[in-house]
Structure 1
Amino acid sequence: MADAPDFTDDLRLAHLMADNADSLTMSRFKARDLVVRSKADHTPVSEADQAVEAAVRRTLATARPRDAVHGEEMEDTGRGPRTWIVDPIDGTANYVRGVPIWATLIALRVNGEICVGVVSAPAIGRRWWAAKGAGAYTGKTLLSPARIQVSKVDSVGDAFLSYSSINGWIKDGRGQGFVDLIRDCGRTRAFGDFFSYMLVAEGCVDLAAEPDLELHDMAALDIIVREAGGRFTNLDGEPGPVGRGALATNGRLHDAVLARLARDDTSG
């Protein structure tokens, strides 16, 4: 029987790239002359987003020249079984307004499965990471890890739900289900973006869900939640960062929440 792949070197590389990203993003955070423009989908992109993704790609071109790269801001490069997935700043809208809740997301997908993930949020001094079969951790660096685990809450009525906004749920045909879920959960807060999912992985929050996400938004979150003992699927229950939405839970609540978020078809 073949030994399981060891992703230690890839995880270390992801941390090194996150360190560089933190330096770039923090050097321009709250800069009065920060250059920001609107993309075709009307979402903002800053010079810092572009600088981080370019830096990650330069590092990978040297350290992993055979690997493919998929990022938010630039065209895909390379092909093969290994793909690095990069969101240079998750929460750009926060970044450009001076809100400190944003992060760089770096993941590695191997043969279709996310095997490494790092989420680095330097403005709040937090970082989370995981590698396949090695557990999920938080800490300021790879040298100061604290293992994290999801909660054991097993009732929606006792659950803490975090989300980004209510926009998109009705358009997705799940509006009534989401409203009912908010009403029935024990507590709800809109922590938003990556932070909701990291709080699930830490056991501080029991549920996180969004209806409209891309692969780069989800890849790093997926493995961190799973290695912390939780479940990460799309809103139809397919495992992993697939499709356009995501549900992350402590696992115990997952099927019940999926049933609540089934399309209600009110959007036509």
Structure 2
Amino acid sequence: MSRHDADLELALRLADAADAITSTRFRAHDLAVERKPDRTPVTDADVAVEDAVRELLAAERPSDVVMGEERGGTLDADRVWVLDPIDGTKNFLRGVPIWATLIALVVDGVPVVGVVSAPALGRRWWAAAGGGAFASDSAGERAISVSGVRELEDAYISTTDLKTWTEYRTRESFLRLVDATWESRAFGDFYQHCLVAEGAIDLAPEAVANPWDIAPFQVLVTEAGGRFTSLEGEERYDAGTVLTSNGHLHEAALRLLAP
């Protein structure tokens, strides 16, 4: 049991509301797509989900603060709900089913509840601080944990986009880690961090990450027995970079990823 169970129950209901919207709009012929100032796409579903979640939070937790990718907000409060209405918008608008709604509750600067809901995959992951990590799919619900891989040469690694390493970090640092590992893929976005939490892969570094992209994974991965830090080793979801791992490989990966 976790003292955050009531907040987790609410977060799961928020995810249900989000799924009802995203599932209807996925592959819709009239899906409206615009460009944000940073040139990333946003769909009418992104905005509709965030507005619906904000409305529910206003009714259920009126004193809490909300920070969302589409409507903004602040992280400077005791209790902040951090939202990414659709993580993987590029997949969503192209009809690729790997996208999810991300919901986190941050208390005193630390994520304590995380929910990741991917209805097109039929999958959901969740955790609350002190309560363990869980996932559900067509087979039902189960507790999850990270892998036991202890050598980089046996490790399975994923990132989102190699180009981001060239733009925000160094391509060479990422390739050093790739060369040291067994297999590399680009599962990308939320999915790779969920795969770390359930032990399917071992390392997921990203050269650039917004708070709403990764906040749920600080609690999900750590409750699954892994580690979550920035590429500088800080246990922060708002540092602009991230490495999730099974814990055993974390320090070795950070050394190779140093610019």
Whether TM-score is above 0.5 comes out as yes
The residue that corresponds to 1:68 in the other structure is 65
Question: How far off its partner does 1:140 sit?
Answer: 4.6
Question: How far off its partner does 1:177 sit?
Answer: 1.5
Question: How far off its partner does 1:172 sit?
Answer: 2.7
The residue that corresponds to 1:125 in the other structure is 122
Note closer, same or farther for the CA distance 1:152–1:70 as it changes in structure 2 (3 Å cut): same
Alignment of 1:54-65 (within 5 A): 54-65=51-62
Note closer, same or farther for the CA distance 1:172–1:66 as it changes in structure 2 (3 Å cut): same
The residue that corresponds to 1:251 in the other structure is 247
The residue that corresponds to 2:149 in the other structure is 153
Aligned 8 A contact 2:176 2:257 in 1 = no
Question: How far off its partner does 1:240 sit?
Answer: 2.6
Question: How far off its partner does 1:79 sit?
Answer: 6.2
Alignment of 1:56-135 (within 5 A): 56-76=53-73, 80-135=77-132
The residue that corresponds to 1:53 in the other structure is 50
Aligned 8 A contact 1:233 1:239 in 2 = yes
Q: Secondary structure at the match of 2:166?
A: coil
The residue that corresponds to 2:5 in the other structure is 8
Deviates more, 1:4-13 or 1:194-203: 4-13
The residue that corresponds to 1:17 in the other structure is 14
The residue that corresponds to 1:37 in the other structure is 34
TM-score, with structure 1 as normaliser? 0.93
Aligned 8 A contact 2:2 2:130 in 1 = no
Deviates more, 1:204-213 or 1:75-84: 75-84
Question: How far off its partner does 1:175 sit?
Answer: 1.7
TM-score, with structure 2 as normaliser? 0.96
Letter in 1 for 2:167: K
Question: Structure 2: where are the runs of 5+ without partners?
Answer: none
Note closer, same or farther for the CA distance 1:157–1:78 as it changes in structure 2 (3 Å cut): closer
Question: How far off its partner does 1:75 sit?
Answer: 2.6
Deviations 1:46-88 (A, max 9, x none): 0000000000000000000000000000031696310000000
Deviates more, 1:176-185 or 1:114-123: 176-185
Question: Structure 1: where are the runs of 5+ without partners?
Answer: 264-268
CA RMSD, 1 decimal: 1.5
Aligned 8 A contact 1:117 1:223 in 2 = yes
Question: How far off its partner does 1:242 sit?
Answer: 2.4
How far apart in 1 are the matches of 2:215 and 2:223? 13
The residue that corresponds to 1:213 in the other structure is 209
Letter in 2 for 1:69: V
Question: How far off its partner does 1:151 sit?
Answer: 0.5
Question: How far off its partner does 1:254 sit?
Answer: 0.3
How far apart in 2 are the matches of 1:153 and 1:33? 46
How far apart in 2 are the matches of 1:38 and 1:231? 34
Runs of 4+ more than 6 Å apart = none
Question: How far off its partner does 1:170 sit?
Answer: 2.3
How far apart in 1 are the matches of 2:142 and 2:159? 25
Q: Secondary structure at the match of 1:101?
A: coil
Q: Aligned pairs, how many?
A: 258
Deviations 1:178-232 (A, max 9, x none): 1121122101111110000000000000000111110000101111001000001
Q: Secondary structure at the match of 2:77?
A: coil
Letter in 2 for 1:121: A
Aligned 8 A contact 2:169 2:207 in 1 = no
Identity of aligned residues (%): 49
